């Protein structure tokens, strides 16, 4: 008599726990996408600002080489950090 009632309560509790876990995963995924988008926009704006600043001081090819070299070094540093 009490067994089916306990089973129903346990099932409801497990379902609530599963919904809570799924909500947390969804929120974390949305946060990760938002952070990635913010990083892309900020990196683009920073690169453009650096390019414009350097272009005023140097020629466009040199400015592009400096900005590209900086991003290359950042990429290499990222790969080294991931390997550790």
Positive or negative torsion for Cα 70, 75, 76, 82? positive
pLDDT one-digit tens code per residue, 44-78: 998 999 989 988 989 888 888 999 999 999 989 98
pTM attached to this predicted model: 0.61
For the chain, the domains span 2-83
pLDDT one-digit tens code per residue, 23-47: 899 999 999 999 999 999 999 998 9
Quick check: 51 and 63 in contact, CB under 8 A? yes
Q: Rounded to the nearest 5°, which phi and psi values hold at 44?
A: -65, -45
Q: At what angle do helices 2-57 and 60-83 cross, to 10 degrees?
A: 150
Q: Is the pLDDT of residue 1 over 80?
A: no
């Amino acid at each position: 008599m009490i067994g089916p009632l306990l089973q129903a309560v346990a099932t409801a509790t497990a379902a609530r726990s599963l919904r809570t876990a799924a909500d947390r995963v969804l929120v974390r995924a949305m946060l990760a996408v938002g952070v990635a988008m913010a990083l892309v926009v900020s990196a683009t704006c920073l690169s453009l600002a650096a390019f414009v600043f350097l272009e005023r001081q140097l020629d466009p090819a040199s400015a592009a080489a400096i900005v590209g070299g900086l991003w290359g070094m950042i990429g290499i540093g990222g790969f080294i950090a991931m390997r550790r």
